[in-house]
Amino acid sequence: MTQTAPNYDELLTPSGVPRHSALSECLAALSADVLAERQKLAEEELLEKGITFAVYGHDAGTEKIWPFDVVPRPIPAHEWQQIEAGLKQRIRALNLFLDDVYNEGRILRDAVIPEALIRTAKTYRPECRGFRPPGGVWTHVTGTDLVRHHDGTLYVLEDNLRCPSGVSYVLENREIMKRVLPEVFEGSVIAPIDDYPERLLEKLLSTAPADAEHPTAVVLTPGIYNSAYFEHSFLAQQMGIELVTGPDLFVDRDDTVWMKTTRGPRKVDVIYRRIDDDFLDPEVFRPDSMLGVPGLMRAFRAGRVTLANAPGTGVADDKAVYQYVPDIIRYYLSEEPILSNVPTYLCSDPQQCAYVLENLASLVVKPTNESGGYGILMGPVASQDERERCAESIRRDPRNYIAQPMLTLSTVPTVINGRLAPRHVDLRPFILFGEQTFVLPGGLTRVALREGSMIVNSSQGGGSKDTWVLQQN
Amino acid sequence: MLCRVADSLFWMSRYLERAENQARFIDVTSSIALGYRGSEQALWSSLLHAGGDAEAFLQRYAAPTRENIINYLLFDRRNLNSVVSCLTAARENARSVRETLTAPLWEAVNRFYLRVRTDAAQQPRILKQPHQFLERIKRSAHQVLGVREATWSHEDAWHFSSLGYQLERADKTSRILDVRYFLLLPMLHTGSEQLDVVQWAALLESTGALQMYRRTWGPIQPARVVDFLVLSPTFPRSLRFCIDAAEATLRAISGNTTADPQNEAEALVSETSRRLASLRAEDIMATGLHPFIDQFQTTLNGIGAAVSGTYFQIPTPA
């Protein structure tokens, strides 16, 4: 694929000067053989520790390790401060937005966002109307995707406000780095990340229903065949709380949630649920869901249990609503957005739709309510046939599509066949929202291992890297 | 502790113990089959009977040859009791509750599974010469036990895991004793013939008991072998030891410090424990070892069902 502009490399300036000299020197001192050997060690360790993800579309229970690359991705301190401030601002505004859309709807009355756009979002949950979660926290955990274009600017690509995953890999990657490549830490001071489970637990307990004196929190998982099962069990283990599946819980007539233990039922106050809204409660959402808990929404609405994240948050990360986030920030906070949005064309708008259809060859088209990189058309690399089929889908259901210019993701050197070669990366920081908002320094760096590819998703040939927020250069 | 988690810990442990027993049985049988004067086929087939797998085996294999039987017991995924199946199930159970295991324990179980899976790729070579493979299985199983001992708090999770080990051991010792005794019995009754010490020693070795037996009794005598495997209060694989340990475990789970059992499972183990304490090996042999073990198996099944009913299968209140 042809590039119109040179990549932005996170380690080297275009003239080849290291952006972070200590790291570059450490890497240069390692031979290709040593790098390849360490890479192998890292992968063996991942396998032995069972740090795997399930792959859909194969036999049930097929697990793979998620490829880990030993070259870290550094972020300078001053840049991180900006990112952190920008994320906090964004999450605060999005929570105010959620509270507003499910209650007064001021932002719709003031016509900042077209009401129709919200009402037609598949992720809008009428069941949440009139509800206010404890502390005004709708999104306890967010994993915002950031990418750096070749102009050097960081853009927010999407706000993952539902059940973002990946934080377990952030923590495990750091551990593995320390064990297999201790040399590269020399000369760098890196922000620690080990306190994430502690912070998450605090956050969960602090949003318990007010009448719960010694609240009990649990992690709710769809089970061992879910692609993120490792993470669910990892977080439960790290927080020292129970990992439950739907059938382990029940809701009684007083809308109280209980888990079935060998010593009888035990009350549950906070559920960090890693199950999508659709499957949460067969009484309210999909009746065929075997993963959820009948009556859970009843308990939630009665304020008897806290769900993290709250149901209905998906409406704020609908890819069409995304375009309005800068306006949402201005509306609720009277501040200018710190982080940039990618210019976005809404196909629900006839004029913008016409533009998209005419320029498919240069745009990226995304369904408004999908994640995991599914259903995306990369215009510049797609075949004529793929583009035509995409155009057809857009005409059939314009509300379901948006388009954005194709960004060139920045690169980081990556071990490929024992040698370093640039590969495209993104960044997913994790934010715990509340009275004291916490942003985990760094986050998950995903890397597209195929040359030239910009698809970083684990389901589609992506790997990951350790992310370093440098304390001093 | 969650009922589901207790259930999985119990079964994780049973499967791990089952895999180790399977490996030990095959190893000992391979050794005594060399130069064996009786029917080698009967000897190998006894392993199928010990696992209760004889019928299923004959439906799938043409003949009960050594290699077919070893393959069935080690590698056949259709056999739920094969070593590969046991480890897959143990690991699956462990994975579903890994947050309750210590990290070293989970990793020991996972490594055990991965090693066997890697080794299984060399199936033809292992079928010819299984010893090293079997030795690694035993060692990995013992490693899991060691890590379990060294890293895990003795709380409910530990107790449910212990219970799995205890009931599985009682089951396996009683089964191997049953089928091997059956093979040795005719020789016992011919009277004039010299006692087949090698075979009796092999029976002890199948449960790893030979060395400990020697220290207790010295020369091998059939009644003492039966006494040791059924009634020893100190050998960790004897029926009595396992039942006594299960009783202590069940009482630790319920917190029962009174003399009276608190639930059906406790009642059953307590009764069995009392009975074993009052028996003599000669009495068992006089009335027949096989009916005795048959009844013991029924009791074990009853205990398993009672544990499940008390702790694992809690219906959702309406």
A156/A213 same-domain check? yes
pLDDT confidence bin for A343, thresholds 50/70/90? very high
Beta-carbon separation of A250 and B5 below 8 A: no
pLDDT at B192 over 80: no
Q: Can you tell me the distance from the alpha carbon of A203 to that of A137, in angstroms, rounded to the nearest whole number?
A: 10
Q: Can you tell me the distance from the alpha carbon of B287 to that of B73, in angstroms, rounded to the nearest whole number?
A: 32
Which residues in chain B are closer than 8 Å to A236, comparing Cβ atoms?
99
A401/A411 same-domain check? no
Would you tell me how many other CB atoms lie within 10 Å of the CB of residue A406? 18
Q: Can you tell me the distance from the alpha carbon of A350 to that of B253, in angstroms, rounded to the nearest whole number?
A: 67
Note whether residue A47 is domain-resident.
yes
Question: Given this model, what pLDDT does residue A64 score?
Answer: 80
Instruction: Return the axis-axis angle of helices B289-307 and B264-278, rounded to nearest 10°.
Output: 160
At A211, the amino acid letter reads D
Which residues in chain B are closer than 8 Å to A248, comparing Cβ atoms?
2-4
Beta-carbon separation of B1 and A262 below 8 A: yes
Question: Given this model, what pLDDT does residue A186 score?
Answer: 86
Mutation for testing the A interface, residue in B12, B93, B99, B158 having most A CBs under 10 Å: B99
**Residue A270 backbone phi and psi in degrees, to 5:** -130, 130
The b/e string for A139-169 (b: 16+ C-beta within 10 A; e otherwise) is bbbbbbbbbbbbeeebbbbbbbbbbbbbbbb
A163/A256 same-domain check? yes
pLDDT at B191 over 80: no
Question: Given this model, what pLDDT does residue A385 score?
Answer: 93
Please state the rounded mean pLDDT for residues B179-198.
73
A222/A282 same-domain check? yes
Q: DSSP letter string over A304-363?
A: SSEEESPTTGGGGG-TTGGGGHHHHHHHHH-S--SSEEPP-EETTSHHHHHHHHHTGGGE
pLDDT tens digit sequence for A44-78: 999 889 888 776 655 545 678 888 999 999 999 99
Residue with more model confidence, A471 or B69: B69
A312/A294 same-domain check? yes
A411/A401 same-domain check? no
Question: Given this model, what pLDDT does residue B255 score?
Answer: 95
pLDDT at B153 over 70: yes
A265/A157 same-domain check? yes
The answer to whether the CB of A307 falls within 8 A of the CB of A293 is: no
Question: Given this model, what pLDDT does residue B318 score?
Answer: 61
A330/A263 same-domain check? yes
Note whether residue A135 is domain-resident.
yes
Q: Which two structure tokens, joined as six digits, stand for A10?
A: 């996170």
Note whether residue A3 is domain-resident.
no
A423/A393 same-domain check? no
Q: Can you tell me the distance from the alpha carbon of B223 to that of A284, in angstroms, rounded to the nearest whole number?
A: 67
Note whether residue A8 is domain-resident.
no
A335/A351 same-domain check? no
- Give me the sheet containing A401-405, strands edge to edge: A345-346, A401-405, A363-367, A377-378
What's chain B's average pLDDT? 92
Note the maximum CA span of chain A.
Answer: 69
Angle subtended at Cα A340 by Cα A359 and Cα A469, rounded to the nearest 5 degrees: 125
pLDDT at B5 over 90: yes
DSSP letter (8 states) at residue B229: I
Note whether residue A308 is domain-resident.
yes
A150/A35 same-domain check? yes
The residues, any chain, with a CB within 8 Å of residue A255's CB and separated by 6 or more, are A295, A298, A299, A302, A304
Domain total for chain A?
2
Using beta carbons and an 8 Å cutoff, which residues of B are at the interface with A?
A: 1-6, 92, 95-100, 103, 106-107, 110-111, 114, 156, 160, 253, 311, 314, 316-317
Closest among A446, A464, A443, A459 to A142, alpha carbons compared? A443
Q: Can you tell me the distance from the alpha carbon of A363 to that of A367, in angstroms, rounded to the nearest whole number?
A: 13
What's chain A's average pLDDT? 91
Lowest mean pLDDT among A23-37, A137-151, B155-169: A23-37
Lowest mean pLDDT among A118-132, A169-183, A359-373, B256-270: A359-373
Note whether residue A15 is domain-resident.
no
The count of residues in chain B is 318
Closest among B220, B203, B205 to B43, alpha carbons compared? B203
Q: Which residue has the tokens 């009977």?
A: B49
Q: In CATH, what number is assigned to the domain containing residue A390?
A: 3.30.1490.270
pLDDT tens digit sequence for A277-316: 999 999 988 888 888 999 999 999 999 999 999 999 999 9
pLDDT confidence bin for A346, thresholds 50/70/90? very high
The answer to whether the CB of B200 falls within 8 A of the CB of B228 is: no
pLDDT confidence bin for A2, thresholds 50/70/90? very low
Coil/strand/helix, residue A473: coil
pLDDT confidence bin for A455, thresholds 50/70/90? confident
Mutation for testing the A interface, residue in B92, B97, B98 having most A CBs under 10 Å: B98
Domain limit, last residue, from A380, A406, A432: A406
pTM of the model: 0.91
Question: Given this model, what pLDDT does residue A1 score?
Answer: 41
Q: Can you tell me the distance from the alpha carbon of B242 to that of B171, in angstroms, rounded to the nearest whole number?
A: 9
Please state the rounded mean pLDDT for residues A85-89.
98
pLDDT tens digit sequence for A207-223: 999 988 999 999 999 99
Q: Which two structure tokens, joined as six digits, stand for B65?
A: 């040859």
Q: What percent of chain B has pLDDT over 70?
A: 97
Question: Given this model, what pLDDT does residue B187 score?
Answer: 67
Question: Given this model, what pLDDT does residue A60 score?
Answer: 46
pLDDT confidence bin for B37, thresholds 50/70/90? confident
Domain limit, last residue, from A381, A406, A431: A406
Question: Given this model, what pLDDT does residue A353 score?
Answer: 94
A163/A42 same-domain check? yes
Q: Can you tell me the distance from the alpha carbon of A454 to that of A465, in angstroms, rounded to the nearest whole number?
A: 15
The answer to whether the CB of B81 falls within 8 A of the CB of B22 is: yes
Note whether residue A257 is domain-resident.
yes
Domain limit, last residue, from A389, A406, A423: A406
- Nearest residue of A to residue B157, measured between CA atoms: A262
The domain of A397 spans 345-406
Region label for A442, one of left (φ > 0), alpha (ψ between -120 and 50) or beta (otherwise): left
pLDDT tens digit sequence for A400-448: 999 999 999 999 999 998 889 999 999 999 999 988 999 999 999 999 9
Closest among A229, A212, A297 to A53, alpha carbons compared? A229
Beta-carbon separation of A244 and B6 below 8 A: no
Beta-carbon separation of A48 and B107 below 8 A: yes
The residues, any chain, with a CB within 8 Å of residue A439's CB and separated by 6 or more, are A83, A84, A87, A88, A429, A430, A431, A432
Q: Which two structure tokens, joined as six digits, stand for B227?
A: 């006494």
